[in-house]
Chains A and B, each alone.
Chain A
Amino acid sequence: MQGTISCARNYNMTTVGESLRPLPLKTQGNGESVRAVVEENAVIVIGRRGCCMCHVVRRLLLGLGVNPAVLEIEEEKEEEVLRELERIGGGDTVKLPAVYVGGRLFGGLDRVMATHISGELVPILKEVGALWL
Chain B
Amino acid sequence: MANHRISEATNHNHNSHLPYSLIHGLNNNHPSGFINQDGSSSFDFGELEEAIVLQGVKYRNEEAKPPLLGGGGGATTLEMFPSWPIRTHQTLPTESSKSGGESSDSGSANFSGKAESQQPESPMSSKQNHHHLMLQHHHHNMANSSSTSGLPSTSRTLAPPKPSEDKRKATTSGKQLDAKAYVQQLESSRIKLSQLEQELQRARSQGLFMGGCGPPGPNITSGAAIFDMEYGRWLEDDNRHMSEIRTGLQAHLSDNDLRLIVDGYIAHFDEIFRLKAVAAKADVFHLIIGTWMSPAERCFIWMAGFRPSDLIKILVSQMDLLTEQQLMGIYSLQHSSQQAEEALSQGLEQLQQSLIETLAASPVIDGMQQMAVALGKISNLEGFIRQADNLRQQTVHQLRRILTVRQAARCFLVIGEYYGRLRALSSLWLSRPRETLMSDETSCQTTTDLQIVQSSRNHFSNF
Contact = CB atoms under 8 A, between A and B. Distances in A.
Interface in A47-95: 50, 52-53, 55-57, 59-60, 63-64
A14 B347 CA distance: 23
Contact of A52 (B337, B347, B397): B347
Contacts of B351: 52
A64 B339 contact: yes
Contacts of A116: 336, 339-340
A60 B340 contact: yes
B346 A56 contact: yes
A12 B401 CA distance: 31
Contact of A63 (B342, B354, B401): B342
Interface string B352-396: 001000000000000000000000000010011001001100110
A109 interface: yes
A60 B390 CA distance: 15
B205 to A, nearest CB: 37
Contact of A60 (B329, B343, B350, B354): B343
A3 interface: no
Contact of B347 (A53, A64, A110, A114): A53
B401 A59 contact: no
A113 interface: yes
A133 interface: no
A50 B342 CA distance: 19
A117 B336 contact: yes
B428 interface: no
Interface residues of B, number: 27
B348 interface: yes
Contacts of B343: 56-57, 59-60, 63
B347 A55 contact: yes
Contact of B339 (A52, A57, A60, A109): A60
Contact of A117 (B344, B350, B383, B398): B398
A61 to B, nearest CB: 9
A110 B277 CA distance: 14
A107 to B, nearest CB: 12
Nearest to B399: A117
Interface in B125-156: none
B68 interface: no
A56 B398 CA distance: 21
B333 interface: yes
Contacts of B346: 55-56, 59
A19 interface: no
A118 B347 contact: no
A7 B239 CA distance: 56
Contacts of B350: 52, 55
B13 interface: no
A86 B343 CA distance: 28
B332 interface: yes
A83 to B, nearest CB: 23
Contacts of B332: 119
B263 to A, nearest CB: 18
A56 B336 contact: no
A63 B337 CA distance: 12
B380 A114 contact: no
Interface in B51-66: none
B320 to A, nearest CB: 23
Contacts of A50: 354
Contacts of A117: 333, 336-337, 340, 391, 394-395, 398
A53 B380 contact: yes
B347 A59 contact: yes
A113 B380 contact: no
B131 to A, nearest CB: 63
Interface string B396-412: 01100100000000000
B339 A110 contact: no
Interface centre among A55, A56, A116 (most CB of B within 10 A): A56
B340 A113 contact: yes
A56 B344 contact: yes
Given A60-B343, A114-B394, A117-B395, A52 B387 contact: no
Contacts of B397: 118
11 contacts: A53-B380, A53-B387, A56-B346, A56-B347, A59-B346, A63-B339, A113-B340, A113-B387, A116-B336, A116-B339, A119-B332
The 4 tightest CB contacts between A and B, nearest first, are: A56-B347, A59-B343, A60-B343, A117-B394
Interface of B: 329, 332-333, 336-337, 339-340, 342-344, 346-348, 350-351, 354, 380, 383-384, 387, 390-391, 394-395, 397-398, 401
Given A53-B380, A113-B390, A119-B332, 15 more contacts: A53-B383, A56-B343, A56-B346, A57-B343, A59-B343, A59-B346, A59-B347, A60-B343, A64-B339, A116-B339, A117-B333, A117-B340, A117-B391, A118-B394, A118-B401
Interface of A: 50, 52-53, 55-57, 59-60, 63-64, 109-110, 113-114, 116-119
